[in-house]
Amino acid sequence: EAGVVQSPRYKIIEKKQPVAFWCNPISGHNTLYWYLQNLGQGPELLIRYENEEAVDDSQLPKDRFSAERLKGVDSTLKIQPAELGDSAVYLCASSLVWTGNTGELFFGEGSRLTVL
């Protein structure tokens, strides 16, 4: 079974440029998360989707970040314009939430962003 797939793995851009990250969750997983991870820190939630609905985007900086999950499967996270402080690893995770399972997170390999 394929895991969570993210692209690109690495991205280097200049500040003020736009950037987009793509995530394909594990087939059948109804919940999708975007996390930001700075070096030496734990993942911090940006947004959580249940199917197509963004159920928690309280930590998403909406002035420059946007996300979508069309048809409740793939998701895209966009930053426009990027700032130096956005340099980090952007992790996508998915889970299957239904009564009786643990609902644990499965992470993709991450997209490492460097803003110059």
Partner 1 sequence: QKEVEQNSGPLSVPEGAIASLNCTYSDRGSQSFFWYRQYSGKSPELIMFIYSNGDKEDGRFTAQLNKASQYVSLLIRDSQPSDSATYLCAVRFAYGQNFVFGPGTRLSVLP
Task: Note the residues at the interface with partner 1 (CB under 8 A).
Answer: 31, 33, 35, 40-45, 48, 50, 56, 91, 97, 102-110
Comparison of 73 and 105: residue with beta carbon closer to partner 1: 105
Structure-token match 């797939």, residue found: 5
**Torsion sign across C-alpha atoms 27, 29, 31, 33:** negative
CB of 47 to partner 1, least distance (A): 10
Tell the smallest beta-carbon distance from residue 59 to partner 1 (Å).
Answer: 9
| Closest-CA residue to 27 (of 57, 2, 7) | 2
Q: What is the CA radius of gyration of the chain?
A: 14
Name the residue nearer to partner 1 (CB basis): 65 or 90.
90
Whole-angstrom distance, CA of residue 66 vs CA of residue 78 = 5
For residue 19 the two structure tokens come to: 């950037």
Instruction: Between 14 and 56, name the residue whose CB sits nearer to partner 1.
Output: 56
Q: Which is nearer to partner 1, 21 or 33 (CB)?
A: 33
Shortest gap between Cβ of 65 and partner 1 (angstroms)?
17
The CB-of-107 to partner 1 minimum distance in angstroms stands at 4
| DSSP output for 49-71 | EETTEEEE-TTS-TTTEEEE-GG
